[in-house]
Amino acid sequence: MKAVCFIVLMLMGGLIGYAQEFRSGQPLSKKEQKRQKINALIRQAEEGVLVYNKQTTMGIQARSNGYGLFYEMGRMKSPLRTTLYRVDFSEIKHPKENKFQNLSNPFLFLSNPYIYGKVNNFFQLNMGVGQQRIVGQKGNKNGVAVSAVYYGGLALGMLKPYYVQVEDPASDDLLYIKYSPADSVLFLGPSILGSGGFWRGWNELKLQPGLFVKGALRFDYGRFNEVVSGIEVGASAEYYSGKVPIMALQKNKPFFIQAHIALLFGKRK
């Protein structure tokens, strides 16, 4: 009912503005157009109804097993329903990951902390389609709109080898190695000096396809409808085509469940 009243008010306001312009015989100045636009935004905020054609949203999310970023496009189908197209980029970390530092290194301040037993960094690129449904409108300009969002799609896992710097006890040479059965003694031994660096191993990516589903509640506290400002709280599940090797000395699995909280920002048209 609020949405219908709001639309009727907007149409009446537009007709009145057009009639005033027609009677004056002069086009509205930029200053007057800007003033009318601000007034329209204020009326939208006071009504508390989210009305738009499309929205673009970006977000930063903290996950129970990592972190991530996302970009989302939405197309409004009705006052209560929006179709979403979303891309997420994230990293899953194993719960047993712990950072260490070689305290015997005389150049300690130059050494990189390392994760003992880590085999691969595991990144994900998720592409999905879903919906956003309004659960509660703002009600007033200081209110919060609550939406339920849910979607699913393809998950593309990317395994980047994790390198460590070691000192070969046989030759005293400094080596950068990744995990392999042949190098397991050095990789898991006491001769580790530090991490091999984040940029090492990107040319050796291995892909692991899978599927994902995600659901969340979104709280939009933005004052004007043209701006997306909010928080998203939810959970997701991913299943990959095989076990994902993240740690050498821990049980690896193909299935992941995680919770997340995200900070949202964007715009509507």
pLDDT tens per residue, range 100-136 = 877 665 555 556 889 999 999 999 999 999 999 988 8
Residue 185 pLDDT: 81
DSSP 140: S
Q: Rg of the chain's alpha carbons, rounded to an integer?
A: 26
3-class SS at 18? helix
- At 46, is the pLDDT very low, low, confident or very high (cuts 50, 70, 90)? low
- Please report the domains of the chain, with CATH numbers, ordered by start residue: 1-47 (no CATH), 52-268 (2.40.160.20)
- At 10, is the pLDDT very low, low, confident or very high (cuts 50, 70, 90)? very low
Q: Please compute the mean of the pLDDT values over residues 233-250 and round it to a whole number.
A: 94
- Check whether 143 has a pLDDT greater than 80: no
Residue 151 pLDDT: 93
8 Å CB contact between 45 and 225? yes
Q: Would you put residue 66 in left (φ > 0), alpha (ψ -120 to 50) or beta?
A: left
**Torsion angles phi and psi, residue 5, rounded to 5:** -60, -40
* CA-based torsion, 185, 188, 255, 84: positive or negative: negative
Residue 32 pLDDT: 78
3-class SS at 79? coil
Q: Which of 10-19, 22-31, 53-62 has the lowest mean pLDDT?
A: 10-19
Contacts of 228 (CB under 8 A, 6+ apart): 55, 56, 57, 220, 222, 264, 265, 266, 267, 268
- Check whether 56 has a pLDDT greater than 90: yes
Bridge pairing between strands 227-240 and 255-268: antiparallel
Rounded distance between C-alpha atoms, residue 7 and residue 227, angstroms:
19
DSSP letters for 170-232? TT--EEEE---GGGHHHHTSTTEEEE--TTTTGGG-EEEEEEEEEEEEEEE--SSTTEEEEEE
3-class SS at 19? helix
Q: Which of 13-17, 77-81, 188-192, 221-225 has the lowest mean pLDDT?
A: 13-17
Q: Please compute the mean of the pLDDT values over residues 75-83 and round it to a whole number.
A: 87
> Which residue did the predictor score with more confidence, 168 or 94?
94
